[in-house]
């Protein structure tokens, strides 16, 4: 059979309009033109609307006096400060809530996730009821519940609930003792830092020795010893002091101590309890995802229960846990913006609500707020991606 | 010589004796699940103490000492009473319909039928929605495509016509008067109806080989996923009027709906992308080999499989969306949460437990919707899972 000659040029040449490359370029050009037209339309309308409302634009408002009070600020702020200081107060408060929330939600989430896997019927049921009850109710509703229904119905200042007369809880918030450090306390802090660095060095050395000789070193007990001994030595050598200032009822309010406003308490309570339900489900799924054969193989190798968890189960579970855990951390950070509903001065409340209403610079304020959250998201996911690359499966 | 004395040889099976009492029945179950080890016993005691402390308290607050009858807050103001359910019962109209004007023909007359007829426009919408969604959710009912078309396309139009009025002899009701559970459900429905198609388009765009389209979709998705919904809602409520040509007035509810739709389509896109990525490459190649063009291969080969994979994820996004509808109360829309909050300021019912009762009621409503959705998602997951088991 004679091989048929393929007319090379004719076969590869498609009609101009059917050429995928040409079509692709055409589609992209059309999209780009439509997008530019859309942006131009919006920009044009915005400029026109702003002009007709006699509104000025620009970021100069940052340096004007804000003139409003913020009831919870970690940096020096009063009503004569600038909007920029107010903005910083908001950012710091958002960060504060996010960091505390992430730490406690992770702890509670891991605890509840492990409780749900417990063989103990009553423990796993308690965890199940907690998870199912709280994760199906909107976070905003939980926040207003804690704030308006629970904390507002607490006793007045006079009849505060107290724990050993050290911690007080009333309508105006939570009062805890404040640590007061003496002179030269930096030495103790330095001692703690030295101990932590020492523990890391010790761990590396112990692991290297274990791999080289097979002999174990009791890292945990040495670490606890180091953490206790080194700062204590620093304490006595430097002759410093650490006392706790207890909140005391004077007149109509508590003086001294560390006061957490009810808004902060309600926000943290809501965020932690809500996010922990999701984290617990992630942890549960992660641990269940490790094949039962891995447990059997570890037992067959003669590993102790603790080693089996630490060396076999947890490393494999972490691979499944870390990516969704990252998005829960991001969710918590974003959800902290619901503070605006209960009046805690976070970024949205201070900047997107009060500042925007006072200055009327809608475009600038919305732009900056979104930029801050974008930045926070990128930083968190960059960190968690780094951590994930450490725990991820290393394949050939 | 071997010993020939008869030895005992058993020639029938011994009937199995029952397991020892300590290993079966209630005792066995308790030994296995509650008191397996000393540590377990300690945990059980702590857990039981916790349950014994919290359950009676909850029971007394919610049922035992709760106030079920009464026409004003007097009964709820007595020291030590629990939830004030009669308050919720008396304000139920407001919680469900907000300020929607009742029909004068039946309003104010006693009787449950008159109360239903007074809000017949909203109730009819609820009934139609229920009639359409129930067969949609039962897998064995036929005409799924037609049913979905009715629910996702025709039903929103019916909702708009019935509630907004201004045609077919219905009086016009501006959206400011819509409220309560009605608005919560409307925002949820519109969010679902808009976010799924937009999400699919965005997910396809993110997979596109055309760099401009891919980059646009990535930027869109990542931007909305990085910012909180409340900033999106603020943006929609403050900036949408600025973006429109002068004189165009964007309805307040519509602004919130735009915000919800923009935000959730980004999340939906990521869920759909998961499904697209889970498909083996051979499916794409097979579709090309059949000579299908891009849209046909997507419509008939890729999306049906990809979407089927991610139905649980889609339902989870719906649940999150439904919970997030409560955020519109911050920008001043009277959804369920906002009606409860404003009713809590009602002085007639002022009582120590008034606020708590209102919030518990709202929480129960949200819980019922979200919990049923999550159960449905688990049901679908199990149904779909069978096909992949070997």
Q: To the nearest whole percent, how much of chain A has pLDDT over 70? A: 93
B260, B191 Cβ separation under 8 angstroms: yes
A147 or A61: whose pLDDT is higher?
A147
pLDDT of residue A395: 58
Q: Is the pLDDT of residue B2 over 80?
A: no
B54 at A interface, C-beta within 8 A: no
> In sequence order, which residues have a C-beta less than 8 Å from that of residue A178 and are 6 or more positions away?
A244, A245, A256, A257, A258
pLDDT, tens digit (0-9, with 9 covering 90-100), for A359-369? 877 788 888 88
- Least confidently predicted of A41-50, A170-179, A387-396, B58-67: A387-396
* pLDDT reported for residue A101: 93
pLDDT tens across B14-68, in order?
Answer: 888 887 777 777 888 888 778 877 888 888 899 899 999 989 888 888 888 877 8
- Quote the Cα angle for B348-A263-A172, to 5°: 75
Predicted structure pTM score: 0.84
**DSSP designation for A65:** B
- Tell me the per-residue pLDDT of A210-262, one tens digit each, with 9 for 90 and over: 888 878 777 778 888 888 888 788 777 777 767 777 777 776 677 767 778 88
The closest CB to that of B216, out of A31, A150, A337, belongs to A31
A50 touches chain B (CB under 8 A): yes
Q: What share of chain B is helix, strand, coil (3-state, %, to 5)?
A: 70, 0, 30
Whether residue A105 has pLDDT greater than 90:
yes
CA angle B345, B351, B354 (to 5 degrees): 60
Strands A253-255 and A248-250, by their bridges, are: antiparallel
Are residues B180 and B339 in contact, defined by beta-carbon separation less than 8 angstroms? yes
Tell me which residue of A369, A370, A355, A361 sits closest to A81, measured CA to CA.
Answer: A355
Which chain A positions have a beta carbon within 8 Å of B76's beta carbon? none
What's the CA gap between A194 and A232, in Å, rounded?
12
Q: Least CA distance to A139: which residue of chain B?
A: B323
CB contact under 8 A, A119 and B44: no
pLDDT for the residue numbered B36: 77
Please give the pLDDT value at position B389: 42
Q: Measuring CA to CA, how many Å separate A172 from each of A144, A147, A245, B130?
A: 16, 11, 19, 46
**Predicted pLDDT at A4:** 56
| Angle at which helices B180-206 and B155-164 cross, to 10° | 140
Average pLDDT, chain A: 82
- Show the DSSP H helices in A1-65 as ranges: 8-12, 20-52
Contact predicate A122/B34, CB 8 Å: yes
Q: What is the pLDDT of residue A251?
A: 67
Of B328 and B120, the structure prediction assigns the larger pLDDT to B328
Mean pLDDT value of segment B117-135 = 80
Sorting pLDDT into bands at 50, 70 and 90, what band is B371?
A: very high
Interchain CB distance below 8 Å, B374 and A149: no
Q: List the single best residue of B234, B313, B344, B346 to mutate versus A (max A Cβ within 10 A).
A: B234
Q: Are A168 and A174 in contact (CB under 8 A)?
A: yes
Q: Is the pLDDT of residue B120 over 60?
A: yes
| Most confident segment among A227-231, A307-311, B53-57, B144-148 | B53-57
Residues 313-352 of B with CB under 8 A from A: 319, 323-327, 329-330, 337, 341, 344, 352
A333: closest chain B residue by CA: B228
Query: How near does any CA of chain A get to the CA of B227, in Å?
Result: 6
Paired tokens of A30: 């059309």
Nearest by CB to B326, which of A32, A138, A363? A138
Partner residue opposite B231 with nearest CB, options A126, A139, A348: A348
Residues 6+ apart with CB under 8 A from A380: A326, A329, A330, A333
Alpha carbons A23 and B33: distance in angstroms, whole number:
66
pLDDT score, position B386: 54
| A373/A352 Cα distance (integer angstroms) | 12
Tokens of B381: 């997951």
Answer yes or no: do A126 and B47 touch at CB < 8 A: yes
pLDDT tens for A312-361 read 888 888 888 888 888 888 889 889 999 888 888 888 888 888 888 788 77
pLDDT digits (tens, 9 = 90+) for B269-287: 988 888 888 888 888 889 8
User: DSSP label at A174?
Assistant: E
pLDDT tens for each residue of B181-220:
889 998 998 898 899 899 999 999 888 888 888 888 888 8
SS3 A343: coil
Predicted local distance difference test score (pLDDT) of residue B388: 44
pLDDT given for residue B201 in this prediction: 92
Q: What is the mean pLDDT of residues A273-298?
A: 89
Name the average pLDDT for chain B: 83
Secondary-structure breakdown of chain A: helix, strand, coil percentages, each rounded to the nearest 5 = 70, 10, 20
- Decide if A134 contacts A142 (C-beta within 8 A): yes
pLDDT number for residue A279 = 93
Spatial strand order of the sheet with A173-176 comes to A161-163, A167-170, A173-176, A258-260
Which of A264-268, A329-333, B91-95, B314-318 shows the lowest per-residue confidence on average (mean pLDDT)? B91-95
Q: What are the CA-CA distances from residue B185 to residues A58, A365, B125, B257 (Å)?
A: 40, 31, 11, 12
Burial of A347 (0-12, 13-18, 19+ CB in 10 A): buried
pLDDT digits (tens, 9 = 90+) for B226-259: 889 988 888 888 888 888 877 777 788 888 898 8
């Amino acid at each position: 059979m004679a091989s048929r000659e393929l007319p090379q040029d004719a076969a590869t040449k498609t009609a101009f309009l059917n050429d995928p490359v040409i079509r692709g370029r055409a589609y992209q050009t059309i999209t780009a033109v439509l997008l530019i037209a859309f942006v131009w339309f919006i920009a044009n309308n915005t400029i026109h609307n702003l002009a007709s409302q006699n509104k000025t634009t620009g970021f100069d408002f940052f340096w004007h006096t804000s003139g409003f009070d913020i009831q919870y600020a970690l940096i020096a702020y009063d009503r004569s400060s600038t909007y920029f200081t107010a903005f910083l107060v908001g950012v710091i408060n958002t960060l504060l809530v996010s960091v505390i929330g992430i730490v406690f939600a992770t702890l509670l989430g891991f605890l509840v996730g492990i409780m749900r896997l417990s063989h103990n019927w009553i423990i796993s049921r308690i965890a199940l009821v907690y998870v199912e009850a709280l994760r199906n109710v909107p976070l905003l509703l939980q926040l207003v519940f804690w704030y308006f229904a629970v904390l507002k119905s607490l006793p007045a200042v006079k009849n505060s609930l107290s724990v050993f007369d050290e911690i007080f809880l009333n309508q105006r918030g939570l009062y805890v003792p404040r640590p007061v450090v003496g002179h030269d306390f930096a030495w103790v802090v330095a001692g703690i830092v030295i101990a932590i660095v020492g523990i890391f060095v010790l761990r590396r050395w112990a692991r290297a020795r274990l791999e080289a000789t097979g002999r174990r070193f009791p890292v945990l007990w040495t670490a606890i010893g180091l953490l206790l001994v080194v700062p204590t030595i620093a304490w006595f050598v430097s002759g410093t002091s650490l006392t706790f200032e207890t909140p005391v009822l004077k007149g109509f309010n508590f003086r001294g101590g560390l006061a957490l406003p009810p808004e902060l308490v309600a926000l943290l309570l809501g965020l932690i309890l809500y996010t922990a339900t999701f984290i617990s489900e992630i942890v549960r799924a992660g641990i269940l995802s490790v094949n039962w054969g891995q447990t059997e193989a570890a037992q067959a190798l003669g590993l102790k229960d603790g080693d089996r968890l630490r060396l076999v189960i947890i490393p494999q579970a972490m691979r499944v846990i870390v990516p969704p855990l990252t998005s829960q951390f991001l969710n918590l950070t974003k959800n902290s913006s619901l503070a605006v509903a209960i009046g805690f001065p976070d970024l949205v409340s201070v900047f997107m609500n009060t500042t925007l209403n006072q200055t009327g610079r809608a475009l600038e304020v919305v732009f900056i707020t979104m930029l801050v959250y974008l930045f926070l998201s990128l930083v968190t996911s960059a960190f968690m991606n780094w951590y994930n690359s450490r725990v991820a499966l290393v394949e050939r | 010589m071997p010993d020939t004395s008869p030895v005992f040889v058993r020639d029938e099976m011994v009937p199995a004796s029952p397991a020892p009492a300590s290993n079966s029945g209630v005792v066995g179950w308790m030994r296995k699940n509650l008191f397996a080890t000393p540590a377990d016993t300690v945990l059980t005691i702590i857990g039981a103490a916790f349950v014994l402390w919290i359950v009676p308290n909850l029971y007394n607050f919610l049922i035992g000492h709760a106030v079920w009858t009464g026409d004003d807050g007097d009964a709820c103001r007595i020291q030590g009473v629990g939830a004030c359910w009669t308050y919720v019962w008396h304000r139920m109209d407001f919680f469900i319909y907000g300020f929607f004007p009742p029909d004068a023909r039946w309003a104010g007359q006693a009787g449950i039928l008159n109360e239903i007829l007074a809000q017949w426009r909203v109730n009819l919408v609820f009934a139609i929605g229920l009639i359409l969604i129930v067969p949609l959710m039962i897998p064995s009912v036929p005409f799924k495509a037609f049913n979905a078309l009715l629910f996702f396309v025709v039903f929103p139009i019916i909702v708009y016509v019935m509630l907004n009025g201004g045609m077919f002899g219905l009086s016009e009701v501006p959206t400011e008067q819509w409220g309560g559970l009605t608005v919560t459900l409307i925002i949820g429905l519109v969010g679902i109806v808009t976010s799924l198609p937009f999400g699919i388009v965005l997910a396809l765009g993110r997979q596109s080989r055309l760099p401009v389209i891919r980059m646009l979709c990535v930027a869109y998705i990542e931007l909305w996923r990085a910012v909180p919904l409340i900033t999106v809602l603020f943006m929609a409520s403050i900036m949408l009027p600025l973006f429109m040509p002068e004189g165009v007035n964007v309805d307040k509810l519509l602004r919130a709906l735009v915000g919800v739709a923009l935000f959730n389509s980004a999340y939906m896109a990521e869920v759909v992308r998961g499904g697209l990525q889970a498909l083996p490459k051979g499916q794409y190649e097979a579709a090309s080999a059949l000579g299908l063009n891009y849209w046909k291969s997507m419509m008939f080969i890729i999306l049906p499989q990809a979407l089927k994979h991610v139905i649980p994820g889609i339902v989870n996004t719906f649940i999150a969306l439904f919970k997030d509808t409560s955020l519109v109360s911050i920008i001043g829309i009277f959804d369920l949460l906002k009606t409860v909050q404003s009713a809590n300021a009602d002085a007639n019912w002022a009582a120590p437990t008034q606020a708590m009762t209102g919030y518990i009621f709202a929480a129960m409503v949200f819980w019922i919707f979200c919990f049923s959705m999550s159960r449905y998602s688990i049901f679908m997951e199990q149904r779909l899972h069978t096909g992949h088991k070997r």
